[in-house]
Amino acid sequence: MIFANLRTIFFGEVDVPAELRETVNAERRGAFHALAPLAAIHSLLNAVVLTFAFWNEAAMPLVFVWCYTSAVLIFIRMREARRTASDLPGAIEDGRIVRYTLFSGALWGGIICALIASSHADHYLLLGVFTAAILCVGALLHSSFPVASLGYSLLVGAGACVGMAVANPSWWLNTALLILAGILTLQRFAAASNEANIRRHLANAAMQDAKDTMALLLNDFEAHSVDWLWRIDAQHRLVKPSQRFVDAAGLPADMLEGGSFLALFAPESVHRLDELLRDRKPFKDEMLRVSIGAREAWWSVSGQPTADIGWRGVCSDVTRARDTEARIAYVTEYDSLTDLPNRAILVRQLEIAQETANATGEGFALFVIDLDNFKTLNDTQGHPAGDAYLKVVAERLRDCVGANAFLARLGGDEFAVLQTDVLIDEAGEMADHIVDALLAPVYLGNKEILAGGSVGVAVAPENGLDPAELMKNAELALYRAKAQGRGCARFFEPGMEQDAQVRADLETDLRAALAAEAMEVYFQPLVNTRTRKVSGYETLLRWNRPGHGLVSPGLFITCAEETGIIVPLGEWVIRKAIEEAAQWKDDVAVAINLSPAQMKNPSLVATVISALATYQLDPRRLEIEIVESVLMDETEHNIRTLHALRELGVKIALDDFGTGYSSLSYLRAFPFDKIKIDQRFVRDIDTSTENQAIVRAVISLARDLGMRVTAEGVENEQQAAILAGLGCTEVQGFLYSRPIPSTEIDKKDPASRAGSNILPLRRRALG
Least confident range from 167-181, 246-260, 394-408: namely: 167-181
User: Quick one: pLDDT at residue 444?
Assistant: 79
- Give the residue-averaged pLDDT of 701-708: 89
The answer to whether 600 and 641 have CB atoms below 8 angstroms apart is no
The domain made up of 226-325 has a fold known as: Beta-Lactamase (3.30.450)
- Give the residue-averaged pLDDT of 246-272: 88
Q: What is the DSSP letter of 451?
A: -
- Give the residue-averaged pLDDT of 78-105: 65
Measure the CA–CA gap between 757 and 508, rounded to whole angstroms.
44
User: Quick one: pLDDT at residue 610?
Assistant: 93
- CB neighbourhood size of 274 (10 A): 13
Q: What is the pTM of this model?
A: 0.51
The residue ranking higher by pLDDT, 668 or 209, is: 668
Least confident range from 597-601, 603-607, 623-627, 672-676: namely: 597-601
Measure the CA–CA gap between 356 and 363, rounded to whole angstroms.
9
- Give the residue-averaged pLDDT of 242-261: 86
Q: Is the pLDDT of residue 363 over 60?
A: yes
Q: Is the pLDDT of residue 117 over 80?
A: no
CATH of 334-492 given 3.40.1410.10, 2.30.30.90, 3.90.1560.10, 3.30.70.270: 3.30.70.270
Q: What is the DSSP letter of 265?
A: B
Alpha-helical runs (H) found in 83-123: 90-118
User: Quick one: pLDDT at residue 557?
Assistant: 86
User: Quick one: pLDDT at residue 480?
Assistant: 85
Distance of CA 628 to the CA centre of its chain: 48
Residues 6+ apart with CB under 8 A from 585: 746, 748, 752, 753, 755
Least confident range from 154-168, 212-226, 342-356: namely: 212-226
Beta strands in 607-668 (DSSP E): 622-626, 651-657
Is 3.20.20.450 the CATH number for 519-674+729-766? yes
The 3-state DSSP class for residue 755 equals coil
pLDDT confidence tier of residue 471, bands split at 50, 70 and 90:
very high
Measure the CA–CA gap between 395 and 391, rounded to whole angstroms.
6
- Give the residue-averaged pLDDT of 617-624: 94
User: Quick one: pLDDT at residue 441?
Assistant: 84
Distances (CA, A) of 270 to 288, 302, 444, 459, 470: 8, 14, 51, 45, 43
Q: Is the pLDDT of residue 653 over 70?
A: yes
Q: Is the pLDDT of residue 529 over 70?
A: yes
Q: What is the DSSP letter of 111?
A: H
The answer to whether 137 and 21 have CB atoms below 8 angstroms apart is no
Q: Is the pLDDT of residue 752 over 50?
A: no
Residues 6+ apart with CB under 8 A from 27: 197, 201
Q: Is the pLDDT of residue 21 over 80?
A: no
The answer to whether 366 and 474 have CB atoms below 8 angstroms apart is yes
Backbone angles phi, psi at 296, to 5 degrees: -120, 135
Q: What is the DSSP letter of 122?
A: G
| Nearest residue to 712 via CA among 733, 697, 695 | 733
The answer to whether 353 and 364 have CB atoms below 8 angstroms apart is yes
User: Quick one: pLDDT at residue 165?
Assistant: 78
Measure the CA–CA gap between 352 and 349, rounded to whole angstroms.
5
H or E element, residue 481: helix 467-483
Strands 534-545 and 549-551 come out as antiparallel
- Give the residue-averaged pLDDT of 12-40: 68
Q: Is the pLDDT of residue 4 over 60?
A: no
User: Quick one: pLDDT at residue 366?
Assistant: 94
User: Quick one: pLDDT at residue 665?
Assistant: 64
Q: Is the pLDDT of residue 101 over 80?
A: no
Kindly state the greatest CA–CA separation across the chain: 180
Residues 304-345: pLDDT tens digits? 998 888 898 888 888 887 877 767 667 677 888 888 998 989
On the CB side of 186, CA atoms within 13 Å amount to 29
- CB neighbourhood size of 42 (10 A): 19
Measure the CA–CA gap between 194 and 553, rounded to whole angstroms.
108
Least confident range from 361-375, 386-400, 710-724, 747-761: namely: 747-761
User: Quick one: pLDDT at residue 620?
Assistant: 94
The answer to whether 230 and 261 have CB atoms below 8 angstroms apart is yes
Measure the CA–CA gap between 637 and 646, rounded to whole angstroms.
14
User: Quick one: pLDDT at residue 222?
Assistant: 55
Q: Is the pLDDT of residue 59 over 70?
A: no
H or E element, residue 459: strand 453-460
Residues 6+ apart with CB under 8 A from 90: 22, 25, 26, 29
pLDDT winner (highest mean) among 239-248, 319-328, 409-418, 662-671: 409-418
Strands 453-460 and 364-371 come out as antiparallel
The residue ranking higher by pLDDT, 272 or 206, is: 272
User: Quick one: pLDDT at residue 254?
Assistant: 86
pLDDT confidence tier of residue 753, bands split at 50, 70 and 90:
very low
User: Quick one: pLDDT at residue 64?
Assistant: 65
Q: What is the DSSP letter of 449?
A: E
Residues 6+ apart with CB under 8 A from 637: 599, 600
Sheet holding 283-292, edge to edge: 228-232, 311-317, 295-305, 283-292
Residues 6+ apart with CB under 8 A from 560: 510, 566, 569
* Side chain identity, residue 2: I
Percent share of the chain, pLDDT over 90 = 23
User: Quick one: pLDDT at residue 482?
Assistant: 83
Angle at 358 between CA 357 and CA 363, to 5 degrees: 25
- Residues recorded for the chain: 767
Distance of CA 586 to the CA centre of its chain: 67
The answer to whether 372 and 451 have CB atoms below 8 angstroms apart is yes
User: Quick one: pLDDT at residue 423?
Assistant: 81
- Give the residue-averaged pLDDT of 643-663: 80
Residues 180-197: pLDDT tens digits? 877 777 777 777 777 777
SS (H, E, C) 347-405: HHHHHHHHHHHHHHCCCEEEEEEEECCHHHHHHHHCHHHHHHHHHHHHHHHHHHHCCCC
Residues 432-444: pLDDT tens digits? 999 998 888 888 7
Q: Do you find a cis peptide bond into 17, omega within 30 degrees of 0?
A: no
Q: Is the pLDDT of residue 71 over 60?
A: no
Least confident range from 86-95, 224-233, 468-477, 488-497: namely: 86-95
- Give the residue-averaged pLDDT of 54-82: 64
User: Quick one: pLDDT at residue 749?
Assistant: 42
Backbone angles phi, psi at 579, to 5 degrees: -60, -45
Residues 6+ apart with CB under 8 A from 406: 341, 346, 349, 417, 418, 419
| Nearest residue to 755 via CA among 530, 522, 577, 532 | 532
The 3-state DSSP class for residue 101 equals helix
Residues 210-230: pLDDT tens digits? 555 555 555 555 555 567 788
Q: What is the DSSP letter of 133?
A: H
Q: How far apart are the first and last CA of the chain?
A: 134
The residue ranking higher by pLDDT, 307 or 68, is: 307
- Give the residue-averaged pLDDT of 734-744: 89
Q: Is the pLDDT of residue 575 over 60?
A: yes
Strand partners, 459: 365
- CB neighbourhood size of 376 (10 A): 16
What integer best gives the mean pLDDT of the chain?
Answer: 80
Domain locations along the chain: 2-198, 226-325, 334-492, 519-674+729-766
User: Quick one: pLDDT at residue 5?
Assistant: 57
The residue ranking higher by pLDDT, 359 or 202, is: 359
